[in-house]
């Protein structure tokens, strides 16, 4: 079921975007989204839900990307699934609720990012394929990437984004024509600030050339081979909003950026604010919500609690006087009175006792019970 029932607090105007107006660029284009990864860096949350389905600014993360694809005028979307494959179809069905036509192709064994693209070939309808990693929050109009692809008459066009510190990403230099000259996975000495943004345009023939029925990495195998073979690989370079949502730090930040309108999402219809509270959630008087916090359905925030830049999933309870900062509070979690949760991930159903302190990257596994005062970084009683 696709729904949208929440209210924003202290509303402001969401970021606007420069959008490509030539929707005919989308003709003959299928969108493919890779959603088959295990999301290990977001465990324990991804033990029960695949990463692209985690609630982000009130919606499954993937819905923000699907709304961007829809806004670009692309109708047909193929999801390449593997880990927890059934969850996607249960939620999005045939896509008609979003005005899309969604097909699903499941890999029994994960085929990797390149194998996942090759595997959806039988479902493709057009001659151009726009591929997305299913865990990137981006502000780039897909049509702008398609335009570059058409103008350059490229075999493959990669979206490249300029970032402050490119060392943790695939670094992709281009020549003065915009043609990709190298593909360097995570290097300490990057020659450019342009990184692989996880969005590519492939011509159908290029997809056909990816080896079938075995795991293939698009980053480590497909791109290096395309360059060796002399294929026409171009970059579409910009400095738009971009975030890989793969880690807890990035996930909370990305969610907060969506709520505050720093990251644009057509799924939010231009709404934004300092926090977002779902209908049916309870926020006691004197509780302070800020920093792009999201409070899920049926969740409760007690009097005097302070929740800053956090994602509180459905049914969770944060008791009076507790402080939650930049953390993810899983489904049905109970955070006791005056507890401190900072830069932490609390798995579904865990119970954090009164006055506990969980900070600096702590991850509590689902269902774990920490008694009152049972975990602290100070000696006060
Ligand atoms: P980590 O385990 O935390 O690294 O996350 P991940 O498994 O999602 O891997 P990564 O972030 O590198 O994946 C990038 C994108 O590709 C994500 O949207 C994944 O869902 C997707 N992906 C990764 N591996 C596969 C695969 O084998 N098959 C398919 N269909 N998608 C994949």
pTM of the model: 0.93
Given a contact cutoff of 8 angstroms between Cβ atoms, the answer to whether 256 and 275 are in contact is: no
The 10 Å Cβ neighbour count of residue 360 is 9
The 10 Å Cβ neighbour count of residue 335 is 30
- Cα separation, 159 vs 196, in Å, equals 6
Task: Using alpha carbons only, give the angle 217, 218, 220 rounded to the nearest 5 degrees.
Answer: 65
- Cα separation, 81 vs 78, in Å, equals 9
Sorted by sequence, the CB contacts under 8 Å of residue 249 that are 6+ apart come out as 326, 343
Distance of CA 227 to the CA centre of its chain: 28
Specify the ligand 1 atom closest to the Cα of 112. Answer: 27
Instruction: Look at residue 90 in the predicted model and tell me its pLDDT.
Output: 97
- Cα separation, 287 vs 283, in Å, equals 7
Ligand 1 binding pocket mutation candidate from 31, 32, 34 (most atoms within 8 A of CB): 34
Is it the case that residue 274 has pLDDT exceeding 90?
A: yes
Three-state DSSP state, 96: helix
Respond yes or no on whether the N-terminal peptide bond of residue 44 is cis (omega within 30° of 0): yes
- Cα separation, 361 vs 6, in Å, equals 29
Instruction: Look at residue 380 in the predicted model and tell me its pLDDT.
Output: 72
Is it the case that residue 327 has pLDDT exceeding 90?
A: yes
Instruction: Look at residue 360 in the predicted model and tell me its pLDDT.
Output: 94
Share of residues in the chain with pLDDT > 90 (%): 87
Ligand 1 pocket member 50 (CB < 6 A): no
Residue nearest to atom 23 of ligand 1 (CA): 37
Cα four-point dihedral sign 8, 13, 18, 20: positive
Q: Among 173, 166, 163, which Cα is nearest to 187's?
A: 166
**Chain-wide mean pLDDT for the chain?**
93
Is it the case that residue 2 has pLDDT exceeding 50?
A: no
Instruction: Look at residue 331 in the predicted model and tell me its pLDDT.
Output: 96
Higher-confidence residue of 21 and 55: namely 55
pLDDT band at 262 (very low <50, low <70, confident <90, very high): very high
**Which domains are present in the chain?**
15-248 (3.90.550.10), 274-370 (2.160.10.10)
Task: Using alpha carbons only, give the angle 327, 333, 334 rounded to the nearest 5 degrees.
Answer: 100
Residue nearest to atom 27 of ligand 1 (CA): 112
Ligand 1 binding pocket mutation candidate from 31, 34, 35, 37 (most atoms within 8 A of CB): 37
Instruction: Look at residue 197 in the predicted model and tell me its pLDDT.
Output: 97
pLDDT tens-digit readout, 109-153 = 999 999 999 999 999 999 999 999 999 999 999 999 999 999 999
Task: Using alpha carbons only, give the angle 17, 23, 25 rounded to the nearest 5 degrees.
Answer: 110
């Amino acid at each position: 079921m696709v729904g949208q029932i929440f209210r924003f607090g202290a509303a402001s105007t969401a970021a606007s975007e420069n959008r490509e107006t030539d929707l005919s660029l989308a003709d003959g284009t299928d969108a493919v989204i890779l959603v088959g990864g295990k999301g290990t860096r977001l465990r324990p949350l991804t033990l029960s839900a695949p990463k692209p389905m985690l609630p982000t600014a009130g919606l499954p993360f993937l819905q923000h990307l699907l709304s961007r694809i829809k806004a670009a005028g692309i109708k047909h979307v193929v999801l390449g699934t593997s880990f927890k494959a059934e969850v996607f179809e249960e939620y999005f069905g045939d896509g008609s609720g979003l005005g899309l036509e969604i097909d699903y192709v499941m890999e029994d064994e994960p085929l990797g990012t390149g194998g996942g693209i090759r595997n959806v070939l039988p479902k493709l309808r057009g001659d151009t394929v726009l591929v997305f990693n299913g865990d990137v929050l981006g502000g780039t109009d897909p049509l702008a990437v398609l335009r570059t692809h058409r103008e350059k008459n490229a075999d493959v066009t990669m979206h490249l984004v300029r970032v402050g510190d490119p060392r943790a990403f695939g670094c992709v230099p281009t020549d003065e024509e915009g043609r990709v000259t190298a593909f360097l996975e995570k290097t300490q000495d990057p020659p450019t600030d342009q990184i692989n943004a996880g969005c590519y345009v492939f011509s159908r023939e290029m997809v056909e050339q990816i080896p079938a029925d075995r795991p293939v990495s698009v980053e480590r195998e497909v791109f290096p081979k395309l360059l060796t073979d002399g294929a026409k690989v171009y970059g579409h370079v910009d400095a738009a909003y971009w975030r890989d949502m793969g880690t807890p730090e990035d996930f909370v930040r990305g969610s907060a950026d969506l709520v505050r309108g720093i990251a644009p999402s057509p799924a939010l219809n231009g709404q934004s604010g300092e926090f977002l509270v779902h209908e049916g959630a309870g926020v006691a008087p004197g509780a302070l919500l800020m920093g792009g916090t999201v409070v899920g359905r049926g969740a409760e925030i007690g009097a005097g609690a302070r929740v800053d830049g956090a994602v509180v999933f459905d049914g969770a309870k944060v008791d009076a006087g507790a402080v939650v900062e930049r953390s993810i509070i899983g489904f049905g979690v109970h955070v006791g009175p005056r507890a401190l949760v900072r830069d932490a991930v609390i798995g579904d159903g865990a119970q954090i006792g009164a006055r506990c302190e969980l900070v600096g990257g702590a991850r509590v596994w689902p269902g774990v019970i920490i008694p009152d005062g049972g975990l602290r970084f100070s000696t006060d009683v």
